Structure 1
Amino acid sequence: MKTLMIDLKWIPRALGLGLLAFAIFGPLTNLLLWAIAEKWYFPHALPLQYGFSYWVNVFSPRGNATGSLLMSILIASLTVVLSIGLAIPAGYALARLKLPLRGLILLILLIPQAFPNLPVYVNIARIFYQFGLNGTVIGVVLVHVTHGLVYAVWIATAAFSAIDRELEEAARSMGASAMRTFRDVTLPIAAPGLLASAVFVFLESLDEFTGTYFVGAPDISTLPLLLYTASSGGNYQIASITALILLIPSIAFMLVIERFLRADVLSKVGR
């Protein structure tokens, strides 16, 4: 009886893990099925015919997936360069200098995340139209940077805060200038955190839809816009294939983040 009761205790845990696995892998399985389904309609639980003809259509010149992918990578790369370029001096200043209202500055960086995206981007699109930035790569990059800076500055601040000040003081005592100390000591140690920050910004930009739609469409076409167009038109195979293309770099880069973003860096976020 005791053994039976011990076994029964695992039933709720098994059910919970099963539901969690279904919530995670159920949509992914459905996505994979739609990506290789040639014919699939109600009431059939599984596709009636499998194939890869839709993959050929997506990557054909008329499918526009290759151009949208290259555009997404270009915009995400420019967003990373601009965001990290601003985050390194900002993060170092917030971590090392005794700035007044430091906590308020970090809080202000969260403001773009605090408001609904739709009204914000509608107003940004109106302003950008006056400066001729609508439908341009630069305009889309600037919109993406407003969100990317949140990750970039917060993680950069944590990365610089995690560095032992005695290492910098030792370099200065050996005659190194402040700039050389930063270049040869501080920056290399903070590099893993900055790399993780760059990955977060890249993924945020790669998946961004709303800002790209209001500022860039129809002149700028990215994978999220292609995904939206396909899904709204009922082309679920094309939408699923596009979603899988977006999923691959997300999984790969999250593995990079898990490797380089250390616990001591995470403990400094927001401090």
Structure 2
Amino acid sequence: MNAYLEWKWIPRGIALGILAFVIFGPLVNLLLWTVAERWYFPHVLPLKYGFSFWANVFSPRGNAMSSLGTSVFIAVLTVILSLGLAIPAGYALARLRLPFRGLILLALLIPQAFPNLPVYVNIARIFYQYGLNGTILGVVLVHVTHGLVYAVWIATAAFSAVDRELEEAARSMGASALRGFRDVTLPIAAPGLLASAIFVFLESLDEFTGTYFVGAPDVTTLPLLLYTAGSGGNYQIASITALILLVPSITFMFVVERFLRSDVLSKVGH
């Protein structure tokens, strides 16, 4: 019996090792490519390490910094427009007895329910008629179609988690509906709205397909630069660009974990 217990940890250890390899293996490979000066088959590890490709990426001709600036600018505009629509929509869905409320929330998932490629091809065709192809505005509008899913659903959950009695107490003390919303409801729902903004920002920052069909070649974001480098065989450039995109994603995920409370998550979809 004791011998069985002593050997029982082996299959669990193997399973955890395989899981760790699946999760962290691609990340380790990515990090190796960012410092690999020479690396080719059949060598398991790079033959030469260095940071010369980092200098190429951040040089003016590397276009990484301008692409990063464009990506951040588009993401910020996407967040502003998405929250501008999501806050009133989320409050209405959380507080008002709207008919077909469930269908409205379900309709917001439609952009995620279909393959992205045919959706973006048709959006690009429509945008071409209105001169939105190759413009920042066109790319932002495409990003908003996906960002609204996170924004409205999380905003609805955030407002649903706010106790109605707090609003009623503010109204009983003479506050108007707008002031009660501004001074009571909005500050309490702010952590959930912040998490919503972060999700929309990251979704926009990493978006490739919609940006490619609507914005390329006039609008160059970091994901487009990553695709161009990878398809051209410049794996060092592609890996460094991917690492730049990975940093804000990991950072903001910790922020989301801090601000998105369990009581808010329990209201998602309700």
Q: Distance in 2 between matches of 1:131 and 1:6?
A: 70
Q: CA deviation at 1:3?
A: 2.3
The equivalent residue for 1:227 is 226
Q: CA deviation at 1:267?
A: 0.4
The equivalent residue for 2:250 is 251
The equivalent residue for 1:218 is 217
1:34-113 aligned within 5 A: 34-113=33-112
Using the size of structure 2 for normalisation, the TM-score is 0.99
Q: Distance in 2 between matches of 1:13 and 1:104?
A: 44
Q: Distance in 2 between matches of 1:7 and 1:197?
A: 47
1:119-134 aligned within 5 A: 119-134=118-133
List runs of 5+ in structure 1 lacking aligned partners.
none
Q: CA deviation at 1:204?
A: 0.3
1:7-22 aligned within 5 A: 7-22=6-21
Return the letter of the residue paired with 1:167. Answer: L
Q: Distance in 2 between matches of 1:175 and 1:15?
A: 65
Q: CA deviation at 1:250?
A: 0.1
Q: CA deviation at 1:4?
A: 2.0
Return the letter of the residue paired with 1:32. Answer: L
Return the letter of the residue paired with 2:195. Answer: A
Q: Bigger shift: 187-196 or 14-23? A: 14-23
Return the letter of the residue paired with 1:7. Answer: E
Q: Distance in 1 between matches of 2:248 and 2:165?
A: 38
Q: Give per-residue Cα distances to partners, 1:178-206, cap 9 Å, x unaligned.
A: 00000000000000000000000000000
Q: Distance in 2 between matches of 1:20 and 1:157?
A: 35
Q: Distance in 2 between matches of 1:204 and 1:7?
A: 46
Q: Distance in 2 between matches of 1:199 and 1:216?
A: 23
Q: Distance in 1 between matches of 2:12 and 2:259?
A: 32
Q: Distance in 1 between matches of 2:243 and 2:2?
A: 45
Q: CA deviation at 1:8?
A: 2.2
Q: Distance in 2 between matches of 1:8 and 1:261?
A: 41
Q: Distance in 2 between matches of 1:81 and 1:8?
A: 56
Q: Give per-residue Cα distances to partners, 1:148-174, cap 9 Å, x unaligned.
A: 000000000000001111111111111
SS for the counterpart of 1:38 is strand
The equivalent residue for 2:269 is 270
SS for the counterpart of 2:10 is helix
2:26 is the alignment partner of 1:33: no
SS for the counterpart of 1:268 is coil
1:183-202 aligned within 5 A: 183-202=182-201
The equivalent residue for 1:148 is 147
Q: CA deviation at 1:130?
A: 0.6
Q: CA deviation at 1:6?
A: 1.5
SS for the counterpart of 2:138 is helix
Q: CA deviation at 1:49?
A: 0.2
Q: Distance in 2 between matches of 1:22 and 1:255?
A: 23
Q: Distance in 2 between matches of 1:86 and 1:119?
A: 25
SS for the counterpart of 2:37 is strand
The equivalent residue for 1:117 is 116
The equivalent residue for 1:206 is 205
Q: Distance in 2 between matches of 1:4 and 1:163?
A: 55
Using the size of structure 1 for normalisation, the TM-score is 0.99
Return the letter of the residue paired with 1:228. Answer: Y
Q: CA deviation at 1:13?
A: 1.7
Return the letter of the residue paired with 2:237. Answer: I
List runs of 5+ in structure 2 lacking aligned partners.
none
